[in-house]
């Protein structure tokens, strides 16, 4: 476990972020394996079937996983405050919530998966493939949700390495099992999705074993297995809003997917590819955001307010530098990024992907600011502002996407992402500036609570 309230800030952030970065890389590899393997072995229609499910999966699973991030904020704050009993109570409360929400969402989503795909106007030629893939992924979401919760709980204590090890093993197993299911047993999309769920379940077993052996802060007595009303309220206050934040953002992505569905299979296949490239670009941004959420939470618990500012400035500098570098690389070598997923003969898809890279890549620097500032505020227990930002993202993304559909213009549709980032940061940046000024004064607890509330 690592205490982020002490020591050199830059070294501490880098040491904590690097395993997160590697972990997120393997998470992208994990998710990309479905797209890459399916695209190269089963063809464009199967690729589009997988791509068409991304937004729905993000909406449902994203809610649960966003909630786990909120549940562990209190864990990190209590760890920073050195309150071990409260840490244990936070862990068990969050675990109960994660299991319960996973079961409920799995049942509901599997029942209505067909209606969801119809609502998104999924093209008829890929509808059945999308339904098969999504049914299995949503039916087994408890595995991915438990991995997310246990990983977030360990990170709350400053341990970003163990979730990485679990994910590396799961990623390798996923690739091996997926190729075997498709090429040896000819199970198609059923094999692809089943292999992914099984690999996620193995990562959960590893994390459970590790916690039992190595993390006394999460060891529980019979007394602690009982839920307390005040603990439930405290965790709901942070967990549920962060779940809804993820869902709001996902609804915007679904709006974009619906718009692209109206443009035909080429647009859907393009989105399946560029979404994976976006994930790669976002790795350091997301990793720095996760690091700042834990850094901010631990230091808030320890009342180290100026240290939060110092960490934020360093994280922003690193995030913006990466954004500019990757955007330059992506736009310059766009052809090679796209043909890693699909045959060079698919000229229309390659051209549409290039337009996407130019439109979105040139604004990655703003997305970096969004991830880092939003996560920092969440780490301080501020659920209100990030939720408002989520609604602003939804409004901007949906509005521009709908305009693009009315014009039948692909360029306008894909500009909905930068529009969403602009809308969100227009709220985040002023709020962050106020926070920085308040923390420079080392304000008292009452003033800080007022800031976080407003």
Q: What is the DSSP letter of 184?
A: I
pLDDT category, 32, cuts 50, 70, 90?
low
Res 444 pLDDT > 50: no
pTM: 0.81
Mean pLDDT on 95-102: 92
DSSP state at residue 182? I
Percent of the chain with pLDDT over 90: 39
Lowest mean pLDDT segment, chosen from 66-75, 222-231, 281-290, 413-422? 222-231
How far apart CA 431 and CA 417 sit, in angstroms, is: 22
Average pLDDT over residues 339-358: 83
The per-residue pLDDT for 402 is 85
The mean pLDDT of 53-59, rounded to a whole number, is 76
Q: Tell me: the pLDDT tens digits for 148-171?
A: 999 999 999 999 999 999 988 888
Helix axes 416-440, 364-379, angle to 10 degrees: 50
Mean pLDDT of 79-102: 92
Mean predicted confidence (pLDDT) in 358-370? 93
Contact 149, 9 (CB under 8 A): no
Q: Average pLDDT, stretch 209-227?
A: 89
Six token digits for residue 350: 């390659």
Whether residue 378 contacts residue 436, with contact meaning beta carbons closer than 8 Å, is answered with no
CA nearest 196: which of 126, 140, 113?
140
- 3-state class of 28 per DSSP? helix
Q: Which pLDDT does position 30 carry in this prediction?
A: 65
Which of 107, 133, 105, 128 lies closest to 118 in space, CA to CA?
Answer: 128
For the cut 80, the answer to whether the pLDDT of residue 265 exceeds it is no
- Residue 191: C-alpha distances to residues 54, 172, 377, 407 (Å): 17, 16, 40, 39
Which residues, 6+ apart, have CB-to-CB distance to 446 below 8 Å?
none
Give me the DSSP letters along 290-340. Answer: HHHHHHHHHHHHTT-HHHHHHHHHHHHHHHHHHHHHHHHHHHHTHHHHHHT
Distance, CA of 347 to CA of 358 (rounded, Å) = 17
Angle subtended at Cα 132 by Cα 127 and Cα 134, rounded to the nearest 5 degrees = 90
Instruction: Kindly indicate the confidence band of residue 337, based on its pLDDT and cuts at 50, 70 and 90.
Output: confident
Percentage above 70 pLDDT, the chain = 95
pLDDT for 446 beyond 60: no
Per-residue confidence (pLDDT) for residue 442, from 0 to 100: 63
> Quick one: DSSP state of residue 225?
G
What's the gap between Cα 416 and its chain centre? 19
What pLDDT sits at residue 102? Answer: 92
* Greatest distance between any 2 Cα atoms in the chain: 64
Whole-number pLDDT of residue 31: 67
**pLDDT at residue 334 in the model:** 84
Predicted local confidence at residue 14, as pLDDT = 92
The pLDDT assigned to 33 comes to: 65
Residue 87 confidence (pLDDT): 94
Residue where the block lists tokens 């500036």 = 433
Average pLDDT, the chain: 86
C-beta separation of 294 from 4 below 8 A: yes
Kindly state the average pLDDT of the residues 390-414: 85
Supply the pLDDT for residue 300.
92
Tell me the per-residue pLDDT of 165-217, one tens digit each, with 9 for 90 and over: 998 888 888 888 988 988 888 888 888 889 989 999 999 999 999 999 999 99
Do residues 133 and 108 make contact, with C-beta atoms less than 8 angstroms apart?
no
What is the pLDDT at residue 450? 52
Residue 145, CA atoms < 13 Å, CB-side half-sphere: 32
- Residues with Cβ within 8 Å of residue 59, at least 6 apart in sequence: 247, 250, 251, 253, 254
In 3D space, the residue among 95, 378, 371, 90 whose CA is nearest the CA of residue 242 turns out to be 378
Highest average pLDDT, of 183-197, 301-315, 343-357, comes from 301-315
Q: Which residue has the higher pLDDT, 396 or 25?
A: 396
Q: How far is CA 4 from the centre of its chain?
A: 23
Integer CA distances (angstroms), 7 to 73, 160, 311, in order: 21, 17, 12
């Amino acid at each position: 476990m690592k205490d982020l309230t002490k020591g050199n800030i830059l070294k501490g952030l880098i040491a904590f972020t690097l395993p997160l970065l590697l972990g997120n890389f393997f998470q992208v590899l994990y998710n990309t394996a479905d797209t890459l393997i399916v695209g190269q072995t089963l063809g464009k229609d199967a690729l589009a079937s997988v791509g068409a499910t991304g937004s729905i999966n993000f909406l449902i699973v994203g809610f649960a996983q966003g909630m786990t991030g909120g549940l562990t904020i209190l864990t990190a704050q209590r760890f920073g405050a050195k309150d071990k009993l409260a840490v244990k109570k936070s862990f068990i409360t969050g675990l109960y919530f994660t299991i319960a929400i996973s079961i409920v969402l799995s049942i509901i989503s599997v029942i209505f998966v067909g209606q969801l795909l119809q609502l998104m106007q999924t093209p008829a030629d890929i509808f059945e493939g999308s339904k098969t893939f999504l049914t299995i992924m949503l039916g087994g979401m408890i595995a991915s949700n438990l991995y997310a919760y246990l990983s977030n709980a360990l990170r709350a204590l400053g341990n970003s390495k163990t979730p990485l090890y679990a994910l590396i093993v799961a990623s390798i197993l996923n690739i091996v099992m997926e190729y075997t299911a498709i090429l040896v047993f000819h199970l198609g999309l059923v094999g692809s999705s089943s292999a992914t769920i099984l690999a996620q379940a193995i990562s959960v077993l590893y994390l459970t074993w590790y916690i039992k052996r190595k993390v006394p802060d999460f060891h529980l007595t019979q007394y602690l297995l009982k839920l307390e009303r005040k603990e439930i309220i405290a965790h709901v206050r942070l967990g549920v809003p962060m779940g809804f934040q993820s869902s709001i953002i996902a609804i915007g992505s679904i709006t974009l997917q619906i718009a692209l569905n109206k443009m035909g299979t080429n647009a859907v296949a393009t989105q399946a590819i560029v979404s994976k490239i976006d994930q790669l670009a976002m790795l350091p941004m997301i990793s720095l955001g996760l690091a700042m959420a834990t850094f901010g939470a631990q230091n808030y618990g320890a009342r180290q307010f100026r240290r939060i500012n110092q960490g934020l400035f360093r994280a922003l500098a690193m995030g913006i530098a990466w954004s500019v570098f990757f955007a330059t690389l992506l736009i310059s070598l766009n052809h090679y990024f796209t043909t890693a997923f699909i045959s060079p003969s698919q000229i229309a898809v390659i051209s549409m992907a290039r337009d996407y890279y130019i439109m979105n890549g040139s604004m990655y620097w703003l997305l970096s600011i969004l991830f880092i500032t939003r996560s920092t505020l969440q780490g301080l227990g501020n659920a209100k502002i990030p939720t408002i930002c989520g609604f602003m993202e939804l409004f901007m993304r949906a509005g521009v996407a709908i305009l693009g559909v009315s014009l039948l213009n692909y360029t306008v549709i894909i500009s909905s992402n930068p529009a969403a980032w602009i809308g969100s940061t227009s709220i985040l940046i002023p709020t962050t500036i106020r926070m920085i000024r308040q923390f420079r004064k080392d304000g008292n607890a009452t003033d800080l609570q007022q800031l976080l509330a407003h």
